[in-house]
Amino acid sequence: MSGQALSRRDEYAMMTRQEVVKAARKLFAEHGYTQTTVEKIAREARVSPATVYAQCRGKEGLLRTLMDIWTTSPTVERIIIDSLAPPTGLAKLEVLADGYFDIRAEAGDIVRIVERAAASSPATQEFLDIANQRHIEALETIVRGIAADGDLAEGLSIEDTAKIIYFHFRIPQIDLAVEGFGWGVDRTKKWLFERVAAAILKG
């Protein structure tokens, strides 16, 4: 029942599960989903492999938990709401750009884990496809706000504009610029923001 304190047993189970999820997140990021075994996760979390299965339904259950942490984060909802608040398209886009870097800081490692795991896991690819579609739909909501401000470039549809934003601000794209090009966060954010603003907003 809601409002009741957890029993000592339930509290221990919750803490154990958190440790297992933490261990899986670390090992998936370091070694990849395919190369990480339940035994390695159990060893990292200092529990038995049976506990990993019982608490988290093995590797697939752990990956799904990490995907839920990423896609249902309060940060995602906050960014959508905050991006709709400013009175101009430019200001909306600036809030959105900041939001993408907030997500990268909070769950960028999970996004990378899922992207890599999808190559060998059809179930993960299916989930990723759904997550990406929801991502685009959320962007369409923000773009409608930009259009309502009268700031959307002529000739662009809501759908195409959302895809332009999605293409530029995906975590792998940001990682490439920040780390691969050595641009760092500030330069990358400024470059992406200016590029997308020029592509989707009225001059």
What domains can you pick out in the chain, each with its CATH number?
Answer: 8-58 (1.10.10.60), 73-200 (1.10.357)
* Cα 65 from Cα 94, distance rounded (Å): 30
Q: How confident is the model at residue 75 (pLDDT cuts 50, 70, 90)?
A: very high
* Mean pLDDT along residues 156-173: 97
The tokens describing 6, both together, are 């957890």
pLDDT in tens, 169-184: 999 999 999 999 999 9
Cα 80 to Cα 15, 35, 150, distances in angstroms: 31, 35, 19
**Residue 4: per-residue pLDDT:** 63
Say yes or no to pLDDT of 3 above 90: no
Q: Of 195, 91, 101, whose CA–CA distance to 142 is shortest?
A: 91
**Residue 120: per-residue pLDDT:** 87
**Residue 8: per-residue pLDDT:** 80
Query: How large a percentage of the chain has pLDDT more than 70?
Result: 97
Average pLDDT across the chain, whole number: 94
Say yes or no to pLDDT of 93 above 90: yes
The three-state secondary structure class of 77 is: helix
Model confidence pTM above 0.85: yes
Q: Of 141, 171, 21, whose CA–CA distance to 81 is shortest?
A: 141
